[in-house]
């Protein structure tokens, strides 16, 4: 078993597996040979970094020898990076992906073959896709709460279902689960009192803040852990009991690189780049997933720890001075102010021009002028002066087809 490999031998295991997967695809995958531009593997540092746009071509052109859509798992990325594509995993690799999830969930007493999941996800709205997901939910011990309608009336229905069904855990998109927690707080209800069997909440796919974790644990009455994954790869990181984000070192090799493709020291921020060590059907080798983050200083080959996840590399804002900052900077600043009021349910920030931003928010009442002024002042302090800020009050925010909420969006 991979997990039984001693710490002292783990570096050799990773180096051997990553060389094997490169050499396999060089020999068996014409797409990867053309991308690699070399016949032989010489050193890991010379292996080219793959971008999502490199994979935006017909899947049939990217299969390895002897693999096809009939003998593989086929999926599609969400497109949240702006570069959606169809991908493949061979069946052994796909089984390893689920084994990884099962192993991490068992840390908290969750068994994927038995435990009942309350699933806060989107769902396809076409007839075939809808019923396909419903069948998968039934087989997978899941009850889905569609999140395209998150009105208080609908969340009241959610609450009633928690009273009827014996859920073991919650899993789903961060923003929708946080909104449900705010609904519970307003109602002065603790979810575990209503659903006593509930033991865990897992949030995924969107940014998760410490104050959100406090809110969820307070209103749900169970531990809340953050999961980091990607549909084309599987589980990337999962929080342990000490709140360390443990990266998947069994089936993935995770690097943090600078713009030139060089590894940065632990603790420094850079691009998160992943190698799938076991996918023979399709190459994901030094694959830039589109996120930025950093590794913890106490990381090792056997136990790499994700210190920080900052969000998408393409979610950047351009300021009037020419300075470029992560879009989430606005989200942090705005969140700290308007959520203190307790009336704001959700919000996103859009950049419309190089110096212009719109805060789109959901609340029962519009922001008061003094609240808007505080946000403007905070942005001047944390970013720069001269920003043009506008506010748009809504009753509900638009989500993607999959139900995700993108907290920052550049329209430039």
Q: Does 12 have pLDDT greater than 90?
A: yes
Q: Report, as an integer, the average pLDDT of 124-152.
A: 82
Q: Report, as an integer, the average pLDDT of 337-349.
A: 68
- Specify the 3-state DSSP secondary structure of 176: helix
Domains in the chain and their CATH numbers? 2-98+229-312 (3.40.50.12780), 109-222 (3.40.50), 316-410 (3.30.300.30)
H-type helices in 141-232, by residue range? 152-164, 174-187, 191-194, 210-220
Q: Does 342 have pLDDT greater than 80?
A: no
Q: Report, as an integer, the average pLDDT of 297-326.
A: 82
- Decide if 287 contacts 31 (C-beta within 8 A): no
Q: Does 200 have pLDDT greater than 80?
A: yes
Q: Does 134 have pLDDT greater than 90?
A: no
Burial 306-337 (b: 16+ CB within 10 A, else e): bbebbbbbebbbebeeeeeebbbbbbebbbeb
Q: Report, as an integer, the average pLDDT of 41-69.
A: 93
pLDDT category at 207 given cuts 50, 70, 90 is confident
**114-130, pLDDT tens digit by residue?**
999 999 987 766 677 77
**30-39, pLDDT tens digit by residue?**
999 999 997 7
pLDDT at 346: 78
124, with CB counted inside 10 A (0-12, 13-18, 19+), is middle
Mean pLDDT of the chain: 88
Q: Which residues contact 132 (CB under 8 A, 6 or more apart)?
A: 124
pLDDT at 379: 82
pLDDT at 149: 76
pLDDT at 401: 57
- Decide if 291 contacts 304 (C-beta within 8 A): no
Round to whole Å and give the CA distance between 356 and 70.
49
**325-340, pLDDT tens digit by residue?**
766 667 667 766 665 5
pLDDT category at 84 given cuts 50, 70, 90 is low
Round to whole Å and give the CA distance between 91 and 25.
17
Q: Report, as an integer, the average pLDDT of 306-318.
A: 75
**272-281, pLDDT tens digit by residue?**
999 999 999 9
Q: Which helix (H) or strand (E) holds 312?
A: strand 305-312
Q: Report, as an integer, the average pLDDT of 160-176.
A: 93
Q: Report, as an integer, the average pLDDT of 258-277.
A: 95
pLDDT at 38: 79
Least confident of 22-31, 100-109, 168-177: 168-177
Q: Does 80 have pLDDT greater than 70?
A: no
pLDDT at 36: 95
pLDDT category at 101 given cuts 50, 70, 90 is very high
Q: Report, as an integer, the average pLDDT of 166-188.
A: 93
Least confident of 121-130, 192-201, 235-244: 121-130
């Amino acid at each position: 078993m991979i997990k039984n490999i001693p710490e002292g031998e783990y570096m050799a295991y990773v180096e051997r597996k990553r060389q094997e997967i490169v050499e396999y695809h060089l020999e068996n995958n014409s797409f990867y040979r053309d991308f690699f531009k070399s016949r032989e593997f010489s050193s890991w540092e010379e292996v080219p970094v793959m971008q999502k746009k490199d994979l935006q071509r017909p899947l049939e052109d990217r299969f390895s020898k002897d693999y096809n859509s009939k003998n593989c798992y086929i999926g599609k990325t969400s497109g949240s990076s702006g570069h959606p594509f169809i991908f493949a995993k061979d069946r052994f690799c796909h089984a390893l992906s689920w084994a990884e999830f099962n192993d991490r969930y068992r840390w908290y007493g969750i068994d994927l073959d038995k435990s009942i999941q309350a699933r806060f996800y989107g769902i396809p709205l076409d007839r075939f896709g809808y019923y396909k997901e419903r069948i998968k939910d039934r087989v997978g011990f899941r009850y889905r709460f569609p999140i395209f309608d998150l009105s208080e009336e609908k969340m009241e229905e959610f609450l009633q279902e928690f009273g009827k069904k014996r859920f073991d855990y919650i899993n789903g998109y961060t923003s929708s689960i946080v909104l449900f927690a705010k609904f519970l707080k307003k109602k002065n209800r603790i979810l575990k009192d209503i659903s006593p069997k509930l033991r865990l909440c897992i949030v995924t796919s969107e940014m998760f803040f410490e104050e959100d974790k406090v809110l969820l644990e307070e209103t749900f009455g169970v531990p809340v852990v953050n999961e980091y994954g990607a549909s084309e790869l599987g589980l990337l990181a999962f929080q342990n009991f000490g709140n360390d984000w443990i990266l998947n070192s069994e089936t993935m090799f995770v690097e943090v690189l600078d713009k030139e493709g060089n590894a940065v020291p632990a603790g420094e921020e850079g691009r998160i780049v992943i190698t799938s060590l076991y996918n023979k059907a399709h190459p994901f080798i030094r694959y830039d997933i589109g996120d930025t983050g950093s590794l913890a200083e106490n990381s090792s080959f056997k136990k790499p720890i994700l210190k920080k996840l900052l969000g998408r590399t393409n979610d950047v804002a351009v300021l009037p001075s020419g300075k470029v900052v992560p879009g989430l900077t606005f989200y942090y600043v705005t969140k700290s102010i308007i959520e203190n009021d307790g009336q704001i349910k959700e919000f996103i920030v859009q950049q419309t021009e190089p110096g212009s931003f719109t805060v789109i928010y959901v609340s029962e009442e519009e922001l008061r002028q003094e609240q808007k002024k505080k946000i403007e002042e905070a942005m001047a302090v944390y970013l720069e002066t001269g920003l043009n800020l506008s506010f748009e009050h809504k009753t509900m925010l638009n989500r993607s087809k999959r139900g995700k909420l993108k907290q920052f969006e550049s329209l430039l």
